[in-house]
Amino acid sequence: MARITAGVTTSHVPAVGMAVDLGKTQEPYWKPMFEGYEFSKQWMKDNTPDVAIIVYNDHASYFGMEIMPTFAMGIADKYGICDEGYGPRPVPDVVGAPELSTFLAASLIMQDFDMTILNVLDVDHGLTVPMSLMFGTPDKWPTKVIPLPVNVVMNPQPSGERCLALGKAIRKAVQAYDEDLSVQVWGTGGMSHQIQGARAGLVNAPWDKQFMDDLVNDPETLQYKPHLEYMIEAGSEGVELIMWLIMRGAMGDKVDEVYRFYHVPASNTAVGHMIMTPKE
Ligand code: DHB
Ligand code: FE
């Protein structure tokens, strides 16, 4: 039986990817942030999963105003790299897990989550920056990946309740897969950030830290936080955090918190990162 062995959350700030790609991680501005991921890189070496289901959002890099799926799942054997802004990062292609992802997509649809099926997909910084933070700069990524893009960039976005429930459905689906695989679920994005407008650069550290506490201890209440609160308290892009709820739903009722890191600033946002493991 496949097992969910851990959950990871992390911000996916594109400038962090640039710092990696341009060899700037030891510069004074970036060093304290990258030091916060040293524990995680070692932990990931010791706990490399067979497959990581990476919940992230596309930033109108591959999708766009024309087509924007609410919840989608890649079922391909390989994913190319794309991006907005700085352009595609020089990172290895992402290797898929077509058999498992096809099974999961079918299971989720049977559980009433009507996933858009992606036979072709290029992934942007929402997915590649977390990979760099967890794995560094290998020639080949050490794990297979199932991309799970979520729309958090255009109205209407899915509710927190729906996100937590999707995570629970992912847990059921993984546990029904008849092969002994270690599977992690990652939720990327956040924390508080607003990248344009009068409040650009907004960072609300107390709100972010409470969100992390609630994600561990009280996701059943956290799921009801309205999108407007994310926007008011955490900035116009803070709603990316609903993707962390999908990861949390996949962990089951109780978790052990393995690691937490919070750092300001990176670009003009707060960086938050957690590792947790299911208790049962
Ligand atoms: C920025 C972009 C993002 O997608 C994000 O999640 C955080 C920061 C940025 O442009 O700084
Ligand atoms: Fe983003």
Average pLDDT of the chain, as a whole number: 98
- The amino acid at 162: R
The pLDDT of residue 98 is 98
Which ligand is nearest to the Cα of residue 86, counting in written order? 1
State the ligand closest to the CA atom of 269. Answer: 1
Assess whether 125 carries a catalytic annotation.
Answer: yes
Candidate from 52-56, 86-90, 147-151 with smallest mean pLDDT: 86-90
> pLDDT for 168-195, tens place per residue?
999 999 999 999 999 999 999 999 999 9
According to DSSP, residue 93 is labeled: P
The predicted pLDDT at position 105 comes to 98
| Alpha carbon distance 7, 9 (integer Å) | 7
Q: Whose CA is nearest to atom 11 of ligand 1?
A: 267
Give me the pLDDT at residue 273, please: 98
CB count in 10 Å sphere of residue 149: 28
What is the pLDDT at residue 188?
Answer: 98
Nearest CA to ligand 1 atom 8: 13
pTM comes to: 0.98
Q: Which residues does a 6 A CB cutoff place in the pocket of ligand 1?
A: 12-15, 59, 189, 193, 195, 237, 240, 267-269
Residue 136 Cα to ligand 1 midpoint, Å, equals: 20
Write the residue with the smallest CA distance to atom 1 of ligand 1.
13
DSSP H helices in the chain: 14-21, 31-35, 38-46, 98-110, 125-135, 160-175, 205-217, 219-222, 227-234, 242-249
Atom of ligand 1 minimally distant from the CA of 125: 4
**What's the CA-to-centroid distance between 189 and ligand 2, angstroms?**
5
The number of the ligand nearest the C-alpha atom of 85 reads 1
CA of 271 to the centre of ligand 1 (A): 10
pLDDT of residue 264: 97
Backbone torsion region of residue 155, taken as left when φ is above 0, otherwise alpha when ψ lies between -120 and 50, otherwise beta: beta
Beta bridge partners of 262: 272
Confidence of residue 30 (pLDDT cuts 50, 70, 90): very high
For the chain, give the percent of residues with pLDDT over 70.
100
Instruction: Determine the 3-state secondary structure of 130 from DSSP.
Output: helix
- Distance from Cα 248 to the centre of ligand 1, integer Å: 22
Cα of 172 vs centre of ligand 1, distance in Å, is 32
Contact predicate 79/88, CB 8 Å = no
pLDDT at 272 over 80: yes
- Nearest atom in ligand 1 to the alpha carbon of residue 240 is 6
Nearest residue to 87 (alpha-carbon basis) of 66, 51, 59 = 59
Position 71 confidence tier, pLDDT thresholds 50, 70, 90: very high
- What would the mean pLDDT of 155-159 be, rounded to a whole number? 97
Spell out the long-range contacts of 104-112 with Cβ–Cβ below 8 A and sequence spacing 24 or more.
Answer: 104/53, 104/73, 104/146, 104/170, 104/173, 104/174, 104/177, 105/73, 105/75, 107/169, 107/172, 107/173, 107/176, 108/73, 108/166, 108/169, 108/170, 108/173, 111/169, 111/172, 111/173
pLDDT of residue 86: 86
What separation in Å is there between the alpha carbon of 162 and the centre of ligand 1? 24
Q: Given ligand 1 and candidates 9, 10, 11, 13, which is best to mutate, with the most ligand atoms within 8 Å of its CB?
A: 13
For ligand 1, atom 4, the nearest C-alpha belongs to: 13
Q: Hunting for tokens 């927190």 — which residue is that?
A: 160
Average pLDDT of span 126-150: 98
Q: Give the ligand whose atoms come closest to the C-alpha of residue 193.
A: 1
Q: Is the pLDDT of residue 280 over 80?
A: no
Specify the pLDDT at position 218. 98
Question: Atom 2, ligand 1: which residue's CA is nearest?
Answer: 13
What is the dihedral sign for C-alpha 105, 73, 118, 131?
negative
